[in-house]
């Protein structure tokens, strides 16, 4: 046992030694220790350097509020994690931890120079300094700041561990397993409510669990023993789920909460077994009880950040819970009664302690108890300075003036090796405010207290401002009864002995004889902001708390200002001469403590990142060497290289084959909507720009759909299957949105229409066979069918069968070739495809992908919605006036086609572009200009589609150009990085203007 | 994350729904008779109230039905949900 391990407790098993490594040195702790308690038991206080001034910093607290003791664990492994609070990691065999923010080592840190030049790096230093010369920014300032800033190192490889999500519902969720959470859980569970209790530590009991003191008794037992009995009973309750090592991250509206459960973080590396590391609980609770407790406040005085300066209650926890004394020559600096508990505990174990109390006197029982034990108390005093570089060695104290605004009398030096500080308590209202709750300011102890917001959420215990034991028990019992509508509980007649009083003397910034400018009175320890910085910000004109926070970075570190926000507010209020309650607070945002990325994404990584949709023919594509492209969630064949063919060569070959003989495309991904009802034709009339009433049964028609603002939204071919039955196709990417939009109109604007919409995209697979030989192939597949132009004309559909399988054949064309789309139920998709390939062999049928499809349609000047349009193109802009019905009274977007803006003649309009050099292929997205000499150069359009056409043996492009309609034949320029490309505006149809090929 | 009481399915998580903006914007019966300004009023102008607001919601990943909701945007309290075509509940 080390000399600092002075006490045996039941929470730390001193028979089980655990070895670990900190900054390259081996130490021993025990089972039940945290990294922090184990370090302290070895006398190690100095664990890191501060962020800005690189001042030595030590462990300050024992929980999630810890600002200083943040480490890198398991460095140089895939499991490494930065910014882990030493106060929260449970010690395990082989744990490796190291300090952050120091180079070359925590004991000698070159950045410490910042401490001596701190006069010159005040708040806003970066904003003010790294401004000029401008050229220094990229090469000098930014790399320098990046190197010196930052907390820890992120892992360089993918996280090898597993994470999980879990959705849960419950009647009552209780956040916090301290005394009030335990009382609340017991009442809830005993009243037949499905209850979940979550606690971030590995055991229940909060701070009462180590409160074994004559001054605090419940029903004549020590409060810790009473609570032990309660916990033992609690664990027997059926409808209560207790989740330890689970911390609440977020409290959203309607009682939706996120909590992170640590499953294997406390296990040695070799015992993790590749199981789940952390699980994110997504909880929807009927009622939520917040019992998150309170955090002790530090005090703000000169040099209040030295290693060895800790929070008083944490010193008590290290002693009474972990059995570790943080020092043998302790001084307590306080403004309230609670720190006297620490003094009594230390003194009872024979450890030296003295008290500096800001107050003039206190007569509470606990103070009397301390005096009786012989603890020396310096009343009405304050610390004006502290000494000791890597660990506190001594302090200097002075008396306070009557009003506390100044120091008087002589300086008095006291030696110490640990300074325990208490500035009173701050209720943890984070959860309450995250959920939308408001706060009231309580003057007598300067705290923000939650005000209740609704009937499904309350706060109990010290997070509600009840700090004294009898208040906690009685008020919690009363509130929970009321909240859960319970008439009596076992806690109704609990007798409580409490020896403390809620009496404090609050001074936000303690006075000093040293001038303010020379004091380093830290408010935010992690971000190194001082009282001086806050005052400077106020002098520079920042008034809002949110602005001061950002300018000084107070409260913006990984601890989110758990220790600093109240002091910042207090000092602002004092300096500005306003009442504290009127300033409001900064916003508390989730997560309460940092979450790992792993727990946020859960299983949605790698191939589970997003849904992958494959057509029923996918397997054939894979086997035939297809390269795929993502279209929405679909995997579509992009091109089918033969041997080592690249994209360009494959597409040239595929395009040529489709025009010369036959090609085949998997068109299954196109959106398909089945439309039925007596008003189906009228419905189509209203959603498409062209007329539908006269479309005969068995005929197909191309339609263009607009938004109400007149812009092209989607397009596709719709087939009339019967009198009141249509099959609409949409673009692959637009399918879901089109259905949703159509439903919207149907349900909200035209509920009188008898129309039903059903998505059938996945129900059918489609093989599109095109090319001059397609008719021959179809005839071979369907020998009984007459495919002559008279029997089966362009833009018509017929049913047919392959064996007993029903097929719908549409003679429609997106390539400009004679083309048939064969639809079958999806399960037959692959057999249909293989049949087409088999039969097409003698015609050298060539499978082609999306790239070739795009090229073929571009040769014909057919648009692709989303490529040649971008939500600002009307059909008129696309030179598709022919599809806009003049006769129809109304359709979606009609009125917008003659708004003052949409009838402008200088809108960007779709045109064809031919490069003067036929081998020069333009880049899609390239800008188009008419004059490169006039500066600034006016951009008049851009290239939307561009290909080298093997069928025309030249480069072709589609583009949108201002007033393009009137520019046919005009010369324009596409300026590129190293040259200007000369182009000529042309018609957008490059091939077969007479549409002869569809009758091939 | 709201808990929304779909008038057709009951209480469901907000992730199943999508919001469709302000409710009770009736599409003009005769758009062609409207001036640009009048049409723009329907097409572009929407209130964005801090306080009680009438909104359209769609149970997109559920029954696909549209319905209306009265929500206080300042605290996200949902005061009522009602089917399309039904009269909004009087405050």
Q: What is d(CA A818, CA A997) in angstroms, rounded to the nearest whole number?
A: 6
Contact flag A749-B27 (C-beta cutoff 8 Å): yes
Contacts of A950 (CB under 8 A, 6+ apart): A652, A653, A655, A656
Q: What is d(CA A657, CA A849) in angstroms, rounded to the nearest whole number?
A: 12
What pLDDT, on the 0 to 100 scale, is given for residue A648? 96
Contact flag A256-B1 (C-beta cutoff 8 Å): yes
How many CA atoms, within 13 angstroms, populate the side-chain half-sphere of residue A718?
30
For the beta carbon of residue A563, count every other beta carbon within 10 angstroms. 27
Residues of chain B with pLDDT under 70: 90-91
Q: Which has the closest alpha carbon to A330: A413, A388, A417, A396?
A: A417
Record the tokens describing residue A193, joined without a space: 């409510």
Contact flag B3-A256 (C-beta cutoff 8 Å): yes
Q: How close, in Å, is residue B55 to chain A by CA atoms?
A: 13
What pLDDT, on the 0 to 100 scale, is given for residue A543? 84
Q: Where are the domains of chain A?
A: 13-125, 162-294+427-497, 298-423, 515-590, 671-759, 769-782+799-855, 862-999
What pLDDT, on the 0 to 100 scale, is given for residue A558? 82
Q: Is A900 touching B (CB cutoff 8 A)?
A: yes
pLDDT in tens, A746-758: 999 999 999 999 9
Q: Which has the closest alpha carbon to A346: A388, A382, A309, A374?
A: A374
What pLDDT, on the 0 to 100 scale, is given for residue A501? 81
Residues of B in contact with A256 (CB under 8 A): 1, 3, 13
A13-125, which class in CATH? alpha beta
Contact flag A253-B65 (C-beta cutoff 8 Å): no
Considering only CB atoms, A751 lies closest to which of B1, B36, B85, namely B85
- What's the sign of the alpha-carbon dihedral A905, A906, A910, A912? positive
Region A769-782+799-855: CATH code: 3.30.1360.120
Domains A769-782+799-855 and A862-999 share a fold: yes
Angle between helices A339-348 and A365-372 (to 10 degrees): 30
Residue in chain B closest to A896 (alpha carbons) equals B39
Q: Are strands A627-631 and A529-530 parallel, antiparallel or unpaired?
A: unpaired
- Say whether the peptide bond before residue A133 is cis (omega within 30 degrees of 0): yes
Question: For chain A (length 1000 residues), average pLDDT per consecutive 10?
Answer: 88 95 95 97 91 88 93 88 93 93 66 66 63 65 60 84 95 97 97 97 93 91 95 95 96 95 91 88 97 96 96 97 96 96 95 96 93 96 95 96 94 97 95 90 92 88 94 96 96 90 89 92 91 92 88 86 91 90 83 90 91 96 97 96 96 97 97 97 96 94 96 97 97 93 95 96 97 97 95 97 95 96 97 97 97 97 95 96 92 95 95 96 97 92 97 97 96 95 96 91
Q: How close, in Å, is residue A747 to chain B by CA atoms?
A: 7
Fold of A515-590: Arc Repressor Mutant, subunit A (1.10.10)
Cβ atoms of A207 and A319 closer than 8 Å: no
What pLDDT, on the 0 to 100 scale, is given for residue A134? 65
Q: Are strands A971-975 and A980-986 parallel, antiparallel or unpaired?
A: antiparallel
Instruction: Note the ipTM here.
Output: 0.96
Considering only CB atoms, B1 lies closest to which of A253, A708, A889, namely A253
Q: What is the DSSP letter of B14?
A: G
Please indicate, yes or no, if residue B91 is contained in any of the structural domains: no
Q: How close, in Å, is residue A895 to chain B by CA atoms?
A: 6
Region A671-759: CATH code: 3.30.70.1400
A862-999, which class in CATH? alpha beta
Please indicate, yes or no, if residue B90 is contained in any of the structural domains: no
CA angle A712, A713, A717 (to 5 degrees): 95
What pLDDT, on the 0 to 100 scale, is given for residue A121? 64
For the beta carbon of residue A605, count every other beta carbon within 10 angstroms. 14
Mutation pick from B8, B25, B27 vs chain A, by most beta carbons of A within 10 Å, is B27
Q: Is A740 touching B (CB cutoff 8 A)?
A: yes
Total domains in chain B come to 1
What pLDDT, on the 0 to 100 scale, is given for residue B54? 95
Contacts of A31 (CB under 8 A, 6+ apart): A12, A13, A16, A18, A91
What pLDDT, on the 0 to 100 scale, is given for residue A436? 86
pLDDT in tens, A665-694: 999 999 999 999 999 999 999 999 999 989
Q: Is A888 touching B (CB cutoff 8 A)?
A: no
Q: How close, in Å, is residue A593 to chain B by CA atoms?
A: 20
For residue B30, give its domain range: 3-83
Cβ atoms of A573 and A506 closer than 8 Å: no
Which CATH code, of 3.30.70.1710, 3.50.50.60, 3.40.640.10, 3.40.50.40, is assigned to A162-294+427-497? 3.50.50.60
Answer whether CATH 3.50.50.60 is correct for domain A298-423: yes
Task: Specify the CATH number for the domain of residue B71.
Answer: 3.30.2270.10
Instruction: Give CA separation, B49 vs A69, A374, A453, B20, B57, in Å.
Output: 46, 65, 22, 15, 17
Contact flag B84-A751 (C-beta cutoff 8 Å): yes
Residue in chain A closest to B5 (alpha carbons) equals A254
pLDDT in tens, A19-64: 999 999 999 999 999 999 999 999 999 998 887 888 899 999 999 9
Please indicate, yes or no, if residue B59 is contained in any of the structural domains: yes
What pLDDT, on the 0 to 100 scale, is given for residue A129? 60
Cβ atoms of A324 and A210 closer than 8 Å: no
Q: Are strands A954-962 and A671-676 parallel, antiparallel or unpaired?
A: unpaired
Q: How close, in Å, is residue B36 to chain A by CA atoms?
A: 6
What pLDDT, on the 0 to 100 scale, is given for residue A111? 66
């Amino acid at each position: 046992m080390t000399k600092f391990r002075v006490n045996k407790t039941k929470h730390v098993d001193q028979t089980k030694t655990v070895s670990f490594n900190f900054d390259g040195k081996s130490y021993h702790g025990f089972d039940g220790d945290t990294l922090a308690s184990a370090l302290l038991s070895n006398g190690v206080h100095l664990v890191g350097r501060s962020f800005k001034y690189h001042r030595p910093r030590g462990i300050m607290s024992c929980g999630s509020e810890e600002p200083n003791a943040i480490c890198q664990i398991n460095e140089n492994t895939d499991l490494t994690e930065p910014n882990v609070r030493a106060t929260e990691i449970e010690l395990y065999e082989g744990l490796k931890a190291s300090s952050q923010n120091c180079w070359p080592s925590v004991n000698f840190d070159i950045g410490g120079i910042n401490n001596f030049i701190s006069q010159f790096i005040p708040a806003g230093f970066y904003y003010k300094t790294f401004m000029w010369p401008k050229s220094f920014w990229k090469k000098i300032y930014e790399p320098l700041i990046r190197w010196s800033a930052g907390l820890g190192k992120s892992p360089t490889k993918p996280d090898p561990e597993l994470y999980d999500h879990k959705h849960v519902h419950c009647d009552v969720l209780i956040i916090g397993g301290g005394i009030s959470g335990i009382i609340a859980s017991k009442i809830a569970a005993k009243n037949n409510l499905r209850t979940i209790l979550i606690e971030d530590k590995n055991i229940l009991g909060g701070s009462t669990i180590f409160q074994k003191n004559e001054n605090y008794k419940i029903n004549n037992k020590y409060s810790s023993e009473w609570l032990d009995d309660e916990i033992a009973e609690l664990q027997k309750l059926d409808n209560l789920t207790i989740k330890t090592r689970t911390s609440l991250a977020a409290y959203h509206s309607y009682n939706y909460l996120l909590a992170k459960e640590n499953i294997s973080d406390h296990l040695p590396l070799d015992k993790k077994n590749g199981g789940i590391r952390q699980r994110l609980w997504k909880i929807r609770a009927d009622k939520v009880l917040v019992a998150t407790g309170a955090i002790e406040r530090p005090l703000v005085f000169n040099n209040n950040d030295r290693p060895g300066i800790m929070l008083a209650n944490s010193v008590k926890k290290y002693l009474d819970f972990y059995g570790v004394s943080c020092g043998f020559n302790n001084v307590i600096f306080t403004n309230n009664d609670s720190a006297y508990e620490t003094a009594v505990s230390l003194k009872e174990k024979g450890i030296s302690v003295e008290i500096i109390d800001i107050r003039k006197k206190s007569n509470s029982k606990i103070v009397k108890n301390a005096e009786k034990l012989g603890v020396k108390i310096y009343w009405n005093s304050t610390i004006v300075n502290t000494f000791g570089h890597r660990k506190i060695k001594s302090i200097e104290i002075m008396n306070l003036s009557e009003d506390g605004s100044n120091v008087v009398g002589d300086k008095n030096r006291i030696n110490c090796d640990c300074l325990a500080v208490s500035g009173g308590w701050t209720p943890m209202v984070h959860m309450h405010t995250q959920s939308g709750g408001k706060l009231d300011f309580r003057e007598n102890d300067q705290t923000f207290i939650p005000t209740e917001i609704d009937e499904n959420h309350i706060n109990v215990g010290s997070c509600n401002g009840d700090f004294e034991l009898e208040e906690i028990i009685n008020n919690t019992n009363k509130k929970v009864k009321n909240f859960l509508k319970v008439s009596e509980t076992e806690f109704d007649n609990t007798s409580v002995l409490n020896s403390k009083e809620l009496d404090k003397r609050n001074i936000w910034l303690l006075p000093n004889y040293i001038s303010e400018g020379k004091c380093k009175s830290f408010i935010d320890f992690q971000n190194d902001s001082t009282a001086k910085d806050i005052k400077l910000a106020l002098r520079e004109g920042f008034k809002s708390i949110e602005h001061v926070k950002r300018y000084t970075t107070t409260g913006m570190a990984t601890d989110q200002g758990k220790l600093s926000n109240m002091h910042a507010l207090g000092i602002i209020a004092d300096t500005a001469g306003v009442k504290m309650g009127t300033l409001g607070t900064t916003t508390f945002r989730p997560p309460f403590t940092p979450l790992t990325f792993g727990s946020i994404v859960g299983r949605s990584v790698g191939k589970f990142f997003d849904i992958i949709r494959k057509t029923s023919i996918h397997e054939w594509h894979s086997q035939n060497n297809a390269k795929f492209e993502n279209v929405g969630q679909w995997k579509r064949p992009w091109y089918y290289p033969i041997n080592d063919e690249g994209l360009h060569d494959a597409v040239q070959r595929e395009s040529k084959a489709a025009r010369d003989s036959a090609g085949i495309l998997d068109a299954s991904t196109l959106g398909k909507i089945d439309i039925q009802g007596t008003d189906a034709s009228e419905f189509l009339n209203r959603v498409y720009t062209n007329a539908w009433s006269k479309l005969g049964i068995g005929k197909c028609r191309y339609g263009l759909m607009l938004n109400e603002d007149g812009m092209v939204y989607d397009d596709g071919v719709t087939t009339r299957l019967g009198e009141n039955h249509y099959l609409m196709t949409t673009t692959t990417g637009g399918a879901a949105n089109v259905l949703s939009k159509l439903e919207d109109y149907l349900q909200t604007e035209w509920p009188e229409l008898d129309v039903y919409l059903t998505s059938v995209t996945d129900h059918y697979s489609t093989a599109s066979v095109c090319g001059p030989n397609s008719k021959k192939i179809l005839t071979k597949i369907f020998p009984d069918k007459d495919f002559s132009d008279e029997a089966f004309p362009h833009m018509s559909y017929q049913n047919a069968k392959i064996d007993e399988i029903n097929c719908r054949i549409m003679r429609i064309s997106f390539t400009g070739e004679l083309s048939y789309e064969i639809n079958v139920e999806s399960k037959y998709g692959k057999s249909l495809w293989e049949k087409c390939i088999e039969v097409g062999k003698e015609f050298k049928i060539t499978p082609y992908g999306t790239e070739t499809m795009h090229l073929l349609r571009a040769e014909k000047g057919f648009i692709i919605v989303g490529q040649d349009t971008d939500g600002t193109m009307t059909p008129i802009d696309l030179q598709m006036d022919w599809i806009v019905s003049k006769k129809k009274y109304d359709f979606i977007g009609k009125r917008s086609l003659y708004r003052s803006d949409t009838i402008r003649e200088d809108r960007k309009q779709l045109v064809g572009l031919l490069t003067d050099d036929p081998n020069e292929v333009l880049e899609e997205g390239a800008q188009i200009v008419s004059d490169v000499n006039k500066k600034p150069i006016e951009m008049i359009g851009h290239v939307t589609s561009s290909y080298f056409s093997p069928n025309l043996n030249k480069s072709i492009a589609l583009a949108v150009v201002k007033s393009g309609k009137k520019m046919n034949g005009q010369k324009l320029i596409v300026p590129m990085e190293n040259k200007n490309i000369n182009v000529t505006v042309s018609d957008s149809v490059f091939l077969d203007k007479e549409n002869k090929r569809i009758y091939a | 994350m709201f808990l929304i009481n779909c008038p057709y399915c009951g209480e469901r998580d907000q992730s199943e729904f999508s919001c469709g903006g302000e409710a009770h914007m009736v599409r003009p019966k005769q758009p062609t008779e409207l001036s640009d300004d009048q049409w723009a009023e329907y097409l572009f102008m929407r209130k964005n109230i801090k306080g009680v607001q009438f909104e359209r919601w769609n149970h997109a990943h559920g029954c696909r039905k549209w319905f209306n909701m009265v929500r206080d945007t300042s605290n996200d309290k949902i005061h009522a949900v009602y089917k399309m075509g039904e009269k909004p509940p009087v405050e």
